[in-house]
């Protein structure tokens, strides 16, 4: 039987790679009479997989007996599994047949095996090893040819270390272990599953079929589903009965996502990687623009105020800033600066009070065109010096930037790496700006 036929026969929905791998293993382990341990979170469909294993085995014409070990009181679990003789305990007015007798020749599915008390684990190990057991209160030795499939939402290895589960029983049960994926591990199956549930419940309750709006589908894919398929089914059923708007929007779905079984349930998963990449590129571009603006400001200030050997604050490159601060797409950059030794040429005597003006992005820049008492100006690149002469307009930011780049290249004999370091920008940015000129 191929995978698609298996899914149709047993009602297993989904086409994700994680689910495909599980179904391939199911087809392998079903024919031989081997003990199988199903591991996975609550609600992932362990009983459905156990049914598929039984249905593909040579025992499919015999009974599949399902036992929830967590639902049986500790004092009664042995009598439930192995049966009890009349008078074995208070209220035992008749001989009772246990689940191992009922499953003889078929399959016994022990769900929530991690909840079984230690005393019952001893008897279970014996029947798994030898096929022999006795009823509670009896002495006659009975046999059962039942194949055992166990399931748990606990880490049985951890339970062994804690002393709440027998190590020998763990090794006996885990001959073959199938780990069933959670919905978070197969998000591509969430919307098809939800739509299938909507169709099922619309027929069951004779209600209109609700179509999913794109924003609702995105919300379902991003929700963490602590209850897995069981919770997904519950939300679809509630929506079919309670919601009257069509199509079904995210606003209508969100109140149904309660996530009561895990605090992380209401936490949405990150958006797809493509969106995150776009945000990262946009943020990097903004950082680069900010670094370049601060570089222009620092360079102008250093030419005006610089004395030989003075320390000038320059912004780091974007690459350096990523090591100095957390630059996730929603992190606050903060003021990340580094001190760089820089020796500008000796300026003419200068002693003028500075004034401020605002540029379009609101960043204050210090003026550099005020003359000193003797009418002299600080040393500037030729284009800036000419622009700041009396009666001439101030240069634009583009003109000032071009002049600074030209001056940096002149000082370092055309060395782009050294020029970029002096300007506080990356070499790639410098190359791009030269091409734009």
Which superfamily does 3-181 belong to? P-loop containing nucleotide triphosphate hydrolases (3.40.50.300)
| The pLDDT of residue 334 | 40
Mean pLDDT of the chain: 79
Q: Topology of 185-266 in CATH?
A: Helicase, Ruva Protein; domain 3 (1.10.8)
pLDDT in tens, 132-179: 999 988 888 999 999 999 999 999 999 999 999 999 999 999 999 999
For the stretch 45-65, what's the b/e string if a residue is b when 16 or more beta carbons lie within 10 angstroms of its beta carbon? bbbebbbbbbbbbebeebbbb
Q: Which residue matches tokens 């800033």?
A: 321
Residue 331 backbone zone (phi > 0: left; psi -120 to 50: alpha; other: beta): beta
Q: In the predicted model, is pLDDT for residue 269 greater than 60?
A: yes
Q: Which residue matches tokens 């622009």?
A: 387
Torsion angle (degrees, nearest 10) of CA 191, 193, 194, 200: 150
Higher-pLDDT residue of 347, 178: 178
pLDDT in tens, 228-267: 999 999 999 999 999 988 999 999 999 999 765 444 455 5
| The pLDDT of residue 278 | 57
Query: Which of 189-203, 205-219, 288-302 bottoms out in mean pLDDT, i.e. has the lowest?
Result: 288-302
3-181 and 185-266 agree in CATH topology: no
Q: In the predicted model, is pLDDT for residue 285 greater than 80?
A: no
- pLDDT band of residue 88 (cuts 50, 70, 90) is confident
User: Rounded CA gap, 280 and 90, in Å?
Assistant: 70
Q: Which residue matches tokens 């399959």?
A: 107
Domain ranges (residues) in the chain? 3-181, 185-266, 274-436
Mean pLDDT for 35-41 is 96
């Amino acid at each position: 039987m191929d995978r698609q036929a298996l899914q149709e026969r047993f009602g297993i929905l989904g086409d994700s790679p994680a689910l495909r791998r599980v179904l391939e293993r199911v087809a392998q382990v079903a024919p031989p009479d081997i003990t199988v341990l199903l591991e996975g979170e609550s609600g992932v469909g362990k009983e459905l997989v156990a049914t598929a294993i039984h249905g593909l085995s040579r025992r499919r014409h015999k009974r599949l007996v399902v036992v929830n070990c967590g639902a049986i009181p500790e004092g009664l679990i042995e009598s439930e599994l192995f049966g009890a003789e009349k008078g074995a305990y208070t209220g035992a007015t008749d001989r009772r047949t246990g689940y191992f007798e009922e499953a003889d020749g078929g399959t016994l599915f022990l769900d929530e095996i991690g909840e079984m008390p230690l005393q019952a684990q001893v008897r279970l190990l014996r029947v798994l090893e030898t096929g022999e057991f006795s009823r509670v209160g009896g002495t006659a030795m009975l046999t059962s040819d039942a194949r055992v499939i166990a399931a748990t939402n606990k880490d049985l290895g951890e339970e062994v270390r804690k002393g709440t589960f027998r190590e020998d029983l763990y090794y006996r049960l885990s001959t073959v272990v199938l780990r069933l994926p959670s919905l978070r591990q197969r998000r591509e199956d969430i919307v098809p599953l939800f739509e299938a549930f909507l169709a099922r419940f619309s027929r069951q309750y004779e209600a209109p079929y609700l179509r999913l709006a794109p924003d609702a589908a995105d919300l379902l894919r991003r929700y963490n589903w602590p209850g897995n398929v069981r919770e997904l089914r519950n939300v679809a059923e509630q929506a079919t009965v309670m919601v009257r708007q069509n199509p079904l929007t995210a606003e209508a779905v969100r109140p149904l996502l309660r996530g009561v079984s895990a605090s992380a349930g209401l936490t949405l998963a990150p958006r797809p990687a493509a969106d995150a990449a776009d945000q990262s590129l946009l943020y990097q571009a903004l950082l680069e623009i900010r670094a370049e603006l601060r570089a222009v400001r620092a360079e102008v200030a250093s030419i005006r105020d610089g004395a030989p050997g003075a320390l000038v604050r320059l912004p780091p490159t974007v690459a350096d800033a990523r090591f100095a601060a957390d630059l996730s797409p929603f992190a606050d950059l903060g003021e990340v600066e580094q001190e760089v030794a820089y020796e500008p040429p000796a300026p003419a005597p200068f002693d003028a009070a500075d004034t401020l003006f605002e540029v379009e992005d609101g960043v204050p820049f210090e003026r550099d065109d005020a003359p000193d008492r003797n009418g002299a100006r600080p040393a500037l690149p030729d284009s800036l010096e000419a622009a700041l002469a009396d009666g001439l307009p101030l240069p634009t930011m583009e003109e000032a930037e071009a002049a600074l780049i030209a001056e940096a290249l002149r000082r370092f004999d055309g060395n782009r790496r050294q020029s970029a370091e002096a300007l506080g920008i990356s070499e790639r940015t410098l190359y791009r700006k030269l091409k734009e000129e």
